[in-house]
Chain A
Amino acid sequence: MNELFNTMPRRVVVMAVVSSIVILGLTALLMIYFYRAHEIREMDSLLSQDTQIAVQRFRVDENGAITHHRTGTETLYDRPGSDWVWQLFTPNGQVMTLLDQSDSLGDLSEHNTALPFPVGRFENFKTREGLAMRGQLSEVSLFGTDEVYMLGIAAPSLHVAEEVEEAATFIGSTFLGLGCLLSLLVFTVVRTGLKPLARLQGELEQMQRGGGSISERGWPTDLQPIVGELRELDQRIASLIDRHRRQASDLAHSLKTPLAIMSRIVPDLPEQERAKIVDQTDRITTAVRRNLSRLRTGAKTANSCPVHDTVEDIVFAMEVLFRERDLDIRNKIDQNIVFRGDADDLKEIAGILLDNACKWAETTIHIDCDCVGPDLILAIGDDGPGMNNRRAATGSNADNTTRDGEFVSGIGLLIVEDIAELYEGSVQLGQSHLGGAEIRVTLPAGPRKS
């Protein structure tokens, strides 16, 4: 039930459809009711007319004998078993004496049972056999006498019921069709009418995923104040986050210059203190770098960037920084592959990995990227000594180090892992087809460029 009302358009559609169906249903019932009343009135009117016709056909002769004059045309009252009946009575105190009856009731000498007509007004009643009838018993004056007689006339009420049922079926089908059409119309109208709300919802969802902000224009007048408030709130939050990130970033950056000076002082210190200070400055440097990296990658965005072009920026930087090594850096990434994430994060990953590769490669570095399902796998390999030999050569995790490795030993790959984890990706170490180490980073892929 809650699911039925969990969105505004759904709530409006359900309420509108239910209201329409109720109104249509009530209208149909009223129409059937009025039609039935109309049919009953028609029948009563017909029976009244038949009463008049029947009265006009009675004759009372000078002996007081009553005869019923027939026209020669057979009516329903003349057909035996038609259940359209009349009976003429003479009031005799409290006792009603049956004088004559319609041919439909058979010969009076054989079938002389008085029917229980309602007196004075048309009403439904049942015969002894249980047949539902409608009729009345009324006073009549017969031609040729001043005496008062009573004429009962009736017809089966089944006739009205059949007419009403037929009409009800027609009205029901018509209104059912109307109900379906109205529901469809309501759905379309609501969907079209609430389109700005759906758009607002979409933009809010995108904003929550970190992909931009709510657009300023194209909103209906009554939504503009809400949109304005939301935009202002978003900007305020963004500026607050930005300010805190900047403050934290400034704090981390401001530590770097004192650290640089401390590193310069270290050689002048006595040997015992030197090791302790170096250890502490290394720890602070590592903490600063890692936290700076987290600050930078703290805001997941819904951006995307072409992998080839982004990595090409880093290849350019490597060619400048390592120009003396004259390395062959081969960027074999397909131009159409897209990373579903921030370009700066991809630059950071590629920068750290390529920096390591440039330090260890003999002559060649190979960069490639494959799409596997929803992911891309960025692979950077070299023809250097390989991961195990790097460890053996350095006696530490120096394979993870960055360009200024002595300060940040082991932090480079941790930063890559941090960024990959942010995108629910992973990092694998392996061997390159060039013979050296290869690092493979799995990241989310965006839709390919066409």
Chain B
Amino acid sequence: MRLLVIEDDPALRDDLTRVLSQHGDVVESSGDGHEALFLGQTEPWDAIVLDLNLPGIDGLSILKELRQNEITTPILILSARDTWKDVVTGLRGGADDYMAKPFAPEELLARIEALVRRSSGRAQAEITIGELSIDPARKSVSFKGRDVPLTAFEFRALEYLSRNAGMVINQETLIQHIYAQDMDLNSNVIEVLVARIRKKIAPDIIKTIRGHGYSVPTNE
């Protein structure tokens, strides 16, 4: 998953980034309201973790701005403000979930996972396409009942394509969801990655759509 963490406290921001990265997600963070709004509007995210007290623009304004611009990325508010008035205001503002600080990292991970799952229209935690089964929580993949060992990058690529099964994902988007740092778009790293996944699972597990990108076919 590609996550954006918006938190003004550097220590907590770094800690959140570390926890989520260790979980296998691609995480970018921002401590400034203006920068966060720009990132939220211009880049594709699977979910956004948003603090309310931010320098520049406050979290609630960012939330409303994103929703007004029809950005439907799941947003979880993580705030020290924990009154039910704050919760209602946040949820009415367009947030999908609200967590008060201090929080348990396991609960945060579970909630982000649930948000992303719901946004991709799945009821179950596991992603199942035909005989392919992906468990995002355990970071495990099985095909025809057999566990398939994948590296972190291979897992991220397959998970993202599977979440968006049936859709064509271009190389740039795929890179953004796999790698935290900027990559040379002309490099053949994605091609290599896809080839390795096909080799480990099945040749037709990922289709190449020439000139457009990659797609995992749906099981229909």
A residues with CB within 8 A of B = 253-254, 256-264, 281, 285, 289, 292, 296, 313-314, 316-317, 320-321, 323-324, 344, 347-348, 350-352, 403-404, 406-407
Place the interface of chain B in its size category: 20 to 34
Q: Which residues does chain B contribute within 8 Å of A321, judged by CB atoms? A: 87, 91, 97-98
Which residue from chain B places its CB closest to the CB of A264 in the assembled complex?
B15
Q: Is B144's beta carbon under 8 Å from chain A?
A: no
A406: which B residues are within 8 A, CB to CB? Answer: 104
B107 near A320: Cβ-Cβ < 8 Å: no
Q: How far is the CA of A314 from the CA of B88 in the complex (A)?
A: 7
Nearest Cβ distance between residue A420 and chain B, in whole angstroms? 15
Contact B96–A264 (Cβ < 8 Å): no
**Residue B83, interface by CB 8 Å:** yes
The one of A262, A263, A313, A352 in contact with B104, judged by C-beta atoms closer than 8 angstroms, is A263
Counting chain A CB atoms within 10 Å of each CB, the highest count among B9, B11, B83 belongs to: B83
B87 contacts which chain A residues (CB < 8 A)? 317, 321, 351
Question: B residues 60-87 with Cβ under 8 Å of A?
Answer: 80-85, 87
Once bound together, how far apart are the Cα atoms of A406 and B101, in whole Å?
Answer: 12
How many A-B contacts are there with CB distance less than 8 Å? 86
Do the beta carbons of B84 and A314 come within 8 Å of each other? yes
6 A-B pairs with least C-beta separation:
A351-B84, A260-B102, A259-B102, A256-B80, A256-B101, A253-B80
A256 to B11, CA, bound (A): 12
Q: Which B residues touch A351, using CB under 8 A?
A: 83-84, 87-88
Per-residue interface assignment for chain B, residues 7 to 22, with 1 indicating a CB less than 8 Å from any chain A CB and 0 otherwise:
0010110010001000
The answer, yes or no, to whether B169 is at the interface (CB within 8 Å) is no
Known contacts A253-B80, A260-B12, A261-B12, A316 near B104 by CB under 8 Å? no
The answer to whether B102 touches A316, judged by C-beta atoms less than 8 angstroms apart, is no
Question: Other CB < 8 Å A-B pairs besides A258-B11, A260-B12, A347-B84, 6 of them?
Answer: A253-B81, A314-B84, A351-B83, A404-B100, A404-B104, A407-B103
Question: Roughly how many angstroms separate A261 CA and B82 CA in the complex, as a whole number?
Answer: 17
CB contacts under 8 Å to A, within B113-155, are 114, 118
Whether B99 is near chain A, meaning CB under 8 Å from some CB there, is: yes
Interface assignment of B55: CB less than 8 Å from any CB of chain A: no
Q: Interface on B for A, CB 8 Å cutoff?
A: 9, 11-12, 15, 19, 53, 80-85, 87-88, 91-92, 96-105, 107, 114, 118
Q: Quote the shortest CB–CB distance from A356 to chain B (angstroms).
A: 13
A253 cross-chain contacts in B, Cβ below 8 A: 53, 80-81
Given contacts A281-B102, A314-B88, A404-B99, contact A347 B107 (CB under 8 A): no
Question: A406 — nearest CB in chain B belongs to which residue?
Answer: B104
A333 to B99, CA, bound (A): 28
Residues of A within 8 A of B104 (CB): 263, 404, 406-407
Q: Give complex CA distance A348, B80 in Å.
A: 16
User: How far apart sit A320 and B91, CA to CA, in the bound complex (Å)?
Assistant: 8
Residues in chain B near residue A344, CB distance under 8 A = 83-85
Contact A320 B9 (CB under 8 A): no
Contact A257 B98 (CB under 8 A): no
14 A–B pairs (Cβ distance < 8 Å), ordered by A: A256-B101, A259-B101, A261-B12, A316-B88, A321-B97, A323-B118, A324-B118, A344-B84, A348-B85, A351-B83, A351-B84, A404-B100, A404-B104, A404-B107
The docked-state distance in angstroms from the alpha carbon of A296 to that of B96 is 25
Complex Cα gap A256–B81 (Å) = 9
**Distance of B159 from chain A, by nearest CB (Å):** 20
Q: Report whether A317 and B88 are in contact in the complex, using a CB–CB cutoff of 8 Å.
A: yes
In whole Å, how far is B58's beta carbon from the nearest beta carbon of chain A?
14
Evaluate contact between A256 and B102: CB separation under 8 angstroms.
Answer: yes
Contact residues in A for B96 (Cβ distance below 8 Å): 320
